[in-house]
Amino acid sequence: GVEVELVEGVGPVVERPIERAADVERLRVSEPDEWAAPILEAVRIVRAELDPERALVGFCGGPFTVAGYLVEGRPSRDYPTAKAFMYGEPEAWHRLMSKLAEMAIRYLNAQVEAGAQVVQLFDSWVGGLGPAEYEAYVQPHVARIFDGVTAPSIHFGTGASALRGQMAAAGGDVIGVDHRVSLAAAWDVIGRD
C-alpha cells in the first residue's frame, strides 16, 4: 500500500511518507506473492541453475531502515524525522515496526520456499541508533523476525559496532559486521557464544 520510486542517485522515495498513527494504520500486511513475485521467481531460477553445493542467500531490509524510508520519505543521513516519530509517537512506532516485522517474516520465508538456504536481515541505517534506542524501539521486532524465520539467518547492520551486543541478543545465527568494526570488537561478540 505504499508507492515507492527508486530514484537514481537518491534511492527509494516514498510518495506519501508516514506522519501520524493513522498513516501506520492504513498500511496493510500483504503476502509477498502480491508484490514480490518477480523476485521469488528469480530466486527459483537462480536456485535451479546454481550448483547444489553453493548456498543461495536471500535478504530483506531491516525494520529500522524500512521505517526510516517510510517516515522520512527518502534516504537520510541521520533520520531526524523517523527518530522524532519514534520518540513522539511510540505506540504508532511500535505498530509500524510490528507490521514491518510481519512483512519481513513473510518475505524471508517466501524466499526460503523459493530456494534460498540462508537469509540476511540487512538493516542499513540502524547504526544511527544508540544501544538504548535500539533495545527499546527496534530489538523486540528484530527478535520476532529471527524467531519467525525458517532458515539459517544473518543479522547485519551498517555502522552498528556500538550495537553489536544488542544485535547478538536480538538473534540471527550469524552477526555480520561491516568494515568499521574492528576484529577485536567482532571477536568480543563471537567469543561470548
Give yes or no for a contact between 177 and 136, defined as CB atoms under 8 angstroms apart.
no
Give the angle subtended at the CA of 28 by the CAs of 27 and 29, to the nearest 5°.
125
Which 3 state secondary structure label does DSSP give 134?
Answer: helix
Tell me the C-alpha distance between 108 and 45, whole Å: 17
Rounded to 5 degrees, what are φ and ψ at 160? -105, 30
**Which residue ranges of the chain lie beneath pLDDT 50?**
193
**In this predicted structure, what is the pLDDT of residue 193?**
47
Tell me the C-alpha distance between 107 and 33, whole Å: 9
**In this predicted structure, what is the pLDDT of residue 190?**
53
Location of C-alpha cell 547478538: 168
